[in-house]
Chains A and B, each alone.
Chain A
Amino acid sequence: MSPPDSAWRIIGRSVVGSGHERVGLPCQDACAYRLLPSGVVVAAVADGLGSAERSADGAQIAVRVALETLESVLNTDDESAPELLSKAIAAAFAAARSALEQEAEDASVPLRELATTLMVVACGWGHLAAGHLGDGAIVGIWSDQLRTISAPQRGEFANVTLPLTMDEAGSFVVYTSDAEPDALALFSDGLQNLALDARDNAPFKGFFRPLFAGIGRVTETDQTDEQLADFLNSPRINERTDDDKTLVLIGRASDSVAEG
């Protein structure tokens, strides 16, 4: 939950999919986020691969380590260093990958059993940097213009995703912008059908506009994380997907009530 004096508001939840629940699988998605005292907001989302035995752990480890890394790199007063954002993203990917290798070794399991996707963002100091490997997507809005800044990445076949545990894990996509967005969403592939046009990955306005219109106004008293979880568990969403679902929303704090 966001401290009220921060320039950003952020909420996020991962919920287990109805299909996973039916067969007793845990939620293999994970997310973490934080508002740093330096004014930068950081977030990570991971989606453990259904085909990997310990992917739920892999996803948890990836977001925890990615976030710790972002935090340690970006907890500085040096606002003149926007390139630090990109460096922090790269460091987060490297650290998350190393942590998975370490866990594989400690637990004596093949690395691929911890397979997970990873998305991270760092936003502040007038800049945005994002890194992305695998499916899921990141959508932002700049002065009313919605943009998919990182589309789902897939292998050659529709059911193959690119995990952090693969040999080419260094080939994550980095996106940077020298303009902070007004709002940003990171989501796992469980929400892709609802959020993106499958033909060109364009964001659906009807999905993002209500979310982005409200995120800047969420307060602690709203219990917004719970409301987000209820939304992600609602029948309308479950009609369209039985996969795990993660949504992290970041928005510039607005105290003015813009619309009713």
Chain B
Amino acid sequence: MSGIDYNALEFAQNPEPRCPCVLLLDTSGSMSIDNRIGELSEGLAVLADELRTDDLASLRVEIAIVTFGGEVNIQQDFVTVDRFNPPQLSAYGGTPMGTAIEVGLNLLHDRKQRYKQSGVAYYRPWLFLITDGEPTDEWRASAQRLHDEANRKKVAFFAVGVQGTNMNTLSQVSPRTPVMLRGLRFRELFQWLSTSLSSVSHSQPGDAVTLQPPTDWSQV
């Protein structure tokens, strides 16, 4: 690296412990059905608005967004909530979920290195995946890595299936039982995510936090 790393100064100005959360969002073509993609974008705005009402979470929760639709994109690199501008997503192409998981895990790995270098404490990172389909790429190796890291408590992984998801495959991808979204309750889903991240960010790093059950938005 050449020159000055101004990002490293972010931690001098905000030395709060960080709670990193990567959103892995399915933006494949089928997400345009029933305007799922619009509801999902709306949900991101809800997440930003709700987290911002919590001053501590605003400085501690860091959001990154990886989309997978046709290709995998880092739509948003890690940013604390106070500076998070939720994007408008658009739907296109296949579902390269395996690659997206790899990219998400790599992002978390690099971010943790950054925290260590800067002397900033951190909570167990979250990977939060939302999909309405099934992987169209080679996903088994990524799923294996995910299972390994989840078993070693390196990451907390959550998977949410939208109508049309192959829940059978998603159960193999996810180390924890995936949850089915009820209808298009993205708003409620992101309210739940906001509440959960808020409670984590108010705990001590390393403490176990009991999350609310996802009753508002999940389908049994």
Contact = CB atoms under 8 A, between A and B. Distances in A.
B116 interface: no
A218 interface: yes
Given A235-B83, A236-B14, A210 B9 contact: yes
A48 B83 CA distance: 32
B189 to A, nearest CB: 29
Among B3, B9, B14, which residue has the most Cβ atoms of chain A within 10 A?
B3
A1 interface: no
Contacts of B4: 210-211, 213-215, 217-218, 224, 227-228, 249
Interface in B78-99: 82-83
Contacts of B118: 206
Among B5, B10, B12, B83, which residue has the most Cβ atoms of chain A within 10 A?
B12
B3 A204 contact: no
Among A217, A235, A236, which residue has the most Cβ atoms of chain B within 10 A?
A236
Contacts of A237: 13
Given A206-B13, A236-B14, 20 more contacts: A204-B12, A206-B9, A207-B12, A209-B8, A210-B8, A210-B12, A211-B4, A211-B9, A214-B4, A214-B5, A217-B1, A218-B3, A224-B3, A224-B4, A227-B4, A230-B6, A231-B9, A236-B9, A249-B4, A257-B1
A133 B23 CA distance: 52
Among B8, B14, B15, B83, which residue has the most Cβ atoms of chain A within 10 A?
B8
Nearest to A235: B83
Interface in A205-256: 205-207, 209-211, 213-215, 217-219, 222, 224, 227-228, 230-231, 234-237, 240, 249
B168 interface: no
Contact of A207 (B1, B3, B9, B83): B9
Contacts of B10: 236
B83 A231 contact: no
17 contacts: A194-B12, A206-B9, A207-B9, A210-B5, A210-B12, A213-B4, A214-B3, A215-B4, A217-B4, A224-B3, A228-B4, A230-B6, A231-B6, A235-B82, A236-B9, A240-B13, A249-B4
